[in-house]
Amino acid sequence: MTMQRRDFLKMVGAGAGVGAATALTGCATQQAAGGGRKVVVIGGGYGGTIAAKYIRMMDKSIEVTLIERNDHYISCPFSNLYLGGILPDLSKLTIKYDKLAANHGIKVVQAEVTGVNAAERTVTTSKGVFNYDRLVVAPGVDFRTEEIKGYTAQTPEVAPHAWKAGPQTILLRKQLEAMKPGGTVVLSIPLAPFRCPPGPYERTSMIAMYLKQHKPGSKLIVLDANPDIVSKKGLFLKGWKKHYDGIIDYRPAKKVTEVSADGKSVLIEGIDEVKGDVINLIPPQRAGAIAVSAGLVGPDKNWCPVNPTTFESTIHKNIHVIGDACIAGAMPKSGYSANSEAKACANNIVNLMNGRAIVDFSGINTCYSFLSAKEAVEVTGVYLVDKEKNVIIAAPGSVGVSPDLSETEAIYAESWLNNILTEMSS
């Protein structure tokens, strides 16, 4: 081939993005000529807000509608600090959408999405039907509660998961406060992959800190379905030994398969019973319900396979899936990953809608965890696409964790929160 790859791509335009140039080049031309310029984003969390914002920043001629069921969003990152008593409430973790909407001309609709029709390119909601040329699905996670015997709609009210920040987090905190000293807390961790790989271990640290300070003589039993600590293992073990020796009873390879109706007892593999005064039961996870009902999950029935460059679903054309719900190769299911994926997805949606060449993915993850009131640790990585395998991999040398527990990292972590929430809300 004699011509330059990039020039060549300019001609191919949108088609190359989904491996079906013949069908879509015409469509892209139509869009560029002022035909369809509508993007709908489902979900106003770490991914959805950023996708909506960056599409508008990159191309004001594209109309963007953000559909979210709540009028606010509460960050999961840092919500463990509320459980630990470092944060007095969730106000610092709460964002609204008014500034984002006004600053960027995003139409924010508070509605429940009830269906997606990929063939018709429509999203049906409690407030009407929305047409799209491209759809971004950023629903986060939902729970595979059917894998836990006895789990009903009432279970989260007695054995909270608190894995979506908000009322569940507040309930868990209240249960901890109400527990008598010398009590037992049980934390159940599902098999990976789940939202926020170090999250359960940060939660272990924060609950242990709360018990140490407010409930003398209490224990925290951690039932981890995984064979070992999933993330930042050495640092968590070091922190637990330093601060919470005798409080945390960590038990690997203990998969909870059943819960009692009163939420005070769980069974491991259907046999061994573990009782607790407070049970924080985090069920196994899959992509948010709307991704499942829209037929976006892959053969594993849990997560959404996507093109790693455009984040376009490999199942349905013109639908992009970002954040926890998608399969993003080596990238962890974290808030920062969702932020990074959203920007790359936005960038390439704008390229596709303008008939321009798509651009290689480049993303970052930076994820902090607190071990005590003043000490935090982090994991980082730079991510790109392995062109031969067509999958997101880590850039060599970029992935690693803090060398030690660090007060400096805790200071940086707070600024991380300030910046990432400001990005999402303004």
Partner 1 sequence: MKQRWSGLALAVGAMTVSAAALAAPPTAEMLSNACAGCHGTHGGSAGPSMPSLASQSKTAIIEAMKKFKSGERPSTVMGRLAKGYSDADFEKMGDFFSKQKFHPTSQAVDPAKVKHGAELQEANCSRCHLDDGKEGKDDTPVMASQWLPYLNIQMQLYQSGARKMPEKMAEKVKPLSKQDLEALLHFYASVK
Which positions ≥6 away from 274 have C-beta within 8 Å? 186, 221, 223, 265, 266, 267, 268
Q: How far is the CB of 31 from partner 1 (least distance, A)?
A: 16
Binding status of residue 75 toward partner 1 by CB under 8 A: no
> Strand 63-68 relative to strand 107-110: parallel, antiparallel, unpaired?
parallel
Amino acid at 256: V
Smaller CB separation from partner 1, 126 or 418: 418
Smaller CB separation from partner 1, 58 or 111: 58
Size of the site for partner 1 (CB under 8 A): 74
Binding status of residue 178 toward partner 1 by CB under 8 A: no
Which x/- pattern, by CB under 8 A, does the window 10-29 give for partner 1?
-xxx-xxxxxxxxx-x----
Alpha-carbon distances of 194 from 18, 200, 271, rounded to whole Å: 28, 10, 24
CB 279 within 8 A of CB 266: yes
CB 422 within 8 A of CB 411: no
Cβ count within 10 A of residue 144:
16
Question: Smallest Cα–Cα separation from 350: which of 134, 139, 137?
Answer: 134
Distance of alpha carbon 150 from alpha carbon 259, whole angstroms: 5
Give residues 356-415 in contact with partner 1 (rule: CB under 8 A).
Answer: 357-364, 366, 378, 380-388, 390, 394-400, 402, 406, 408-409, 411-412, 414-415
Give residues 296-315 in contact with partner 1 (rule: CB under 8 A).
Answer: 307-310, 312
Smaller CB separation from partner 1, 142 or 312: 312
Smaller CB separation from partner 1, 10 or 251: 10
Terminal C-alpha separation, the chain: 46
Distance of alpha carbon 369 from alpha carbon 401, whole angstroms: 11
Query: Which residue is associated with the tokens 């079906």?
Result: 20
CB 222 within 8 A of CB 204: yes
Q: How far is the CB of 208 from partner 1 (least distance, A)?
A: 24
Q: How far is the CB of 369 from partner 1 (least distance, A)?
A: 13
Smaller CB separation from partner 1, 15 or 43: 15
Chosen residue from 40, 256, 344, 353 binding partner 1 by CB under 8 A: 344
Exposed/middle/buried for residue 171 (C-beta within 10 Å: 0-12, 13-18, 19+):
middle
Q: How far is the CB of 385 from partner 1 (least distance, A)?
A: 4
Q: How far is the CB of 129 from partner 1 (least distance, A)?
A: 30
Smaller CB separation from partner 1, 302 or 425: 425
Q: How far is the CB of 69 from partner 1 (least distance, A)?
A: 24
Smaller CB separation from partner 1, 113 or 304: 304
Cβ count within 10 A of residue 274:
17
Stretch that binds partner 1, among 37-45, 71-79, 188-196, 355-363 (CB under 8 A): 355-363
> Strand 94-96 relative to strand 400-401: parallel, antiparallel, unpaired?
unpaired
Paired strand residues for 4? none
Chosen residue from 347, 349, 369, 375 binding partner 1 by CB under 8 A: 347
Chosen residue from 280, 343, 369, 371 binding partner 1 by CB under 8 A: 343
Stretch that binds partner 1, among 131-139, 176-184, 245-253, 337-345 (CB under 8 A): 337-345
Q: Half-sphere exposure of 210 toward its Cβ, with a 13 Å CA cutoff?
A: 28
Smaller CB separation from partner 1, 54 or 132: 54
Distance of alpha carbon 406 from alpha carbon 386, whole angstroms: 34
CB 150 within 8 A of CB 258: yes
Chosen residue from 54, 143, 250, 370 binding partner 1 by CB under 8 A: 54
Smaller CB separation from partner 1, 293 or 422: 422
Smaller CB separation from partner 1, 142 or 409: 409
